[in-house]
């Protein structure tokens, strides 16, 4: 990994997790990539609830704006940036990759098609910091808003796929119940990237980064990024 540097700066991995995912701990993708020598930054869409009302019919704009703002800060620390989007973060990752022309994109269980609506509701359900009976209506309404905005986010991502030209890796688990794994084929077949790969993991569910094959996923992500960045540096004449 030491050779994948330029002007003293390293490759950065901008990781967008699922709605209310956690980036902490020593058994995460972020931690693994740091161990391989990458700079990493991890965020979740729900983070923006700290600065805006969760009961917002257009909250997906806040999800995108928050990710854009954090990416703008992160790029200054890196030679180049790879966006890694997990679950709903994959939809946001597609937006970032198209708008900012990042050097590579990895989607992990990005939800284009849904198989289990109840499971999707659980995935998007808003959880207030303080639970009380007075918050019940707020939870229901904000979750409905999340569902509405999720649909808007899917539609936007589908429109942007044909504009993607960066190297792409699509990762999809096959034991997933919430997302129809044909979502992976849709993403793979609708991008214009010359360098694109697709990888299925047969033993994992939706939360693949915490499942039994997570180490294989981490290794696959690392291998793809090294390959993409080596190609970039070769074109630029650095290796």
pLDDT tens digit sequence for 32-58: 999 999 999 998 876 655 444 556 677
pLDDT digits (tens, 9 = 90+) for 207-234: 899 899 999 999 999 999 999 988 876 7
For the cut 60, the answer to whether the pLDDT of residue 2 exceeds it is: no
For the cut 50, the answer to whether the pLDDT of residue 119 exceeds it is: yes
Check the CA dihedral 222-224-230-233 and report its sign. negative
How far out from the chain centre does Cα 178 lie? 16
pLDDT digits (tens, 9 = 90+) for 144-174: 888 888 999 999 999 999 999 999 999 999 9
Query: Model's pTM, two decimal places?
Result: 0.89
Would you kindly state where each structural domain of the chain is located, as residue ranges?
A: 8-235
CATH classification for the domain delimited by 8-235, as one of 3.40.50.1820, 3.20.20.30, 3.30.470.10, 1.10.1040.10: 3.40.50.1820
Lowest-pLDDT range of 65-74, 136-145, 180-189, 201-210: 136-145
């Amino acid at each position: 990994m030491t050779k994948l540097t330029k002007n003293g700066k390293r490759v950065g991995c901008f990781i967008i997790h699922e709605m209310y995912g956690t980036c902490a701990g020593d058994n995460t993708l972020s931690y693994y990539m740091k161990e391989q020598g990458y700079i990493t930054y991890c965020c979740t869409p729900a983070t923006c609830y700290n600065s805006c009302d969760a009961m917002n019919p257009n909250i997906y704009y806040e999800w995108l704006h928050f990710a854009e703002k954090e990416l703008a800060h992160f790029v200054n620390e890196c030679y180049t940036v790879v966006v890694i989007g997990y679950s709903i973060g994959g939809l946001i990752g597609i937006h970032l990759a198209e708008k900012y022309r990042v050097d590579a994109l990895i989607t992990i269980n990005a939800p284009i098609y849904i198989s289990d609506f109840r499971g999707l509701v659980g995935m998007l359900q808003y959880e207030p910091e303080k639970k009380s009976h007075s918050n019940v209506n707020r939870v229901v309404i904000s979750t409905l808003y999340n569902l509405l905005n999720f649909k808007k986010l899917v539609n936007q991502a589908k429109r942007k796929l044909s504009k993607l030209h960066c190297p792409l890796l699509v990762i999809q688990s096959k034991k997933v119940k919430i997302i129809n794994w044909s979502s992976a084929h849709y993403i793979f077949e609708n991008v214009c990237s010359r360098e694109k790969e697709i990888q299925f993991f047969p033993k994992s569910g939706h939360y693949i980064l915490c499942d039994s094959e997570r180490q294989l996923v981490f290794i696959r992500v690392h291998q793809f990024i090294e390959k993409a960045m080596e190609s970039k540096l070769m074109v630029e004449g650095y290796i």
